[in-house]
């Protein structure tokens, strides 16, 4: 299993990041002139909190305890410590609050699929999974769909600080075992906690490694 944890705590400076735009369709997104990294998961899995952790800006992405608050494609521009620029994207959740209408669910689903399949500068999709739970069918089905679409992705387990000792590893093992029933190899896996500030360095290093691998392509 290719899993990245936070056993060694390293410090990363706060990145310069700013909110750009919220879009209803991928056609309204910013010009695709920079590498782009998007975050998605079930509602209330911690996407906005993780984006704030990653950039070091506590209020960049709006967080809410109410599921389904992120309803648009939210773009942020990041100026990294080496002066490279890239986009972070906070996507709507693919699991919806009970109060959301069927029509709204269909619209969100179409918006998410169009963005994922048609956004040409999308380098990697980070799929967030709540580490407190055993494997959920909706997460497994979404990852299966990414395979069908041949979209590069990684898995990020969130809220590890809320687990009892051993629970995170148990749930991660259960989840990856389910994936291996269908997949020959596993994608990169990260363990994170926005509260304990774990996983930030590892995610940033991975994103930067994708920058470097792209720049080396002929």
Looking at per-residue confidence, does 41 or 98 come out higher? 41
123 three-state secondary structure:
strand
Total domains, the chain: 1
Residue 131 lies in a domain: yes
Residue 2 lies in a domain: no
Residue 110 lies in a domain: yes
Which pLDDT does position 39 carry in this prediction?
96
pTM: 0.89
CATH of the domain at 162: 3.40.50.300
Residue 141 lies in a domain: yes
Closest CA to 205 of 80, 88, 121, 93: 80
**Domain range enclosing 139:** 12-215
Answer yes or no: is pLDDT of 169 > 60: yes
The answer to whether 39 and 129 have CB atoms below 8 angstroms apart is no
11 three-state secondary structure:
coil
**Range ranked top by mean pLDDT from 43-52, 60-69, 105-114, 167-176:** 167-176
> Which contacts of 201-207 are long-range, i.e. CB under 8 A and separated by 24 or more positions?
201/6, 201/9, 201/10, 201/11, 201/12, 202/4, 202/5, 202/6, 203/54, 203/126, 203/156, 204/12, 204/54, 206/4, 206/154, 207/37, 207/86, 207/124
Compute the distance between CA of residue 73 and CA of residue 77 in angstroms, rounded to an integer. 13
Residue 18 lies in a domain: yes
- Host H or E run for residue 125: strand 122-130
Residue 7 lies in a domain: no
Residue 65 lies in a domain: yes
């Amino acid at each position: 299993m290719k899993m990245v944890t936070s056993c060694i705590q390293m410090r990363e400076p706060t990145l310069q990041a700013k909110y750009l735009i919220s879009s209803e369709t991928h056609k309204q997104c910013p010009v695709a002139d920079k590498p782009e990294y998007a975050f998605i998961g079930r509602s209330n899995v911690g996407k906005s909190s993780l984006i704030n952790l990653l950039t070091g800006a506590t209020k960049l992405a709006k967080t809410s305890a109410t599921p389904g608050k992120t309803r648009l494609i939210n773009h942020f521009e990041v100026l990294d410590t080496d002066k490279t620029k890239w986009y972070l994207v906070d996507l709507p959740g693919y699991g919806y609050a009970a109060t959301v209408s069927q029509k709204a669910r269909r619209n969100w689903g179409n918006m998410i699929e169009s963005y994922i399949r048609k956004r040409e500068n999308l380098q990697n999709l980070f799929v967030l999974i709540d580490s407190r739970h055993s494997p959920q069918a909706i997460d497994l089905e979404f990852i299966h769909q990414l395979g069908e679409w041949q979209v590069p992705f990684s898995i990020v387990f969130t809220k590890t600080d809320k687990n009892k000792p051993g629970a995170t590893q148990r749930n991660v093992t259960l989840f990856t075992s389910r994936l291996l029933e269908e997949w020959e190899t596993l994608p990169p896996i990260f363990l994170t906690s926005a509260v304990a500030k774990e996983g930030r360095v590892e995610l940033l290093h991975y994103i930067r490694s994708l920058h470097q691998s792209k720049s080396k392509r002929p």
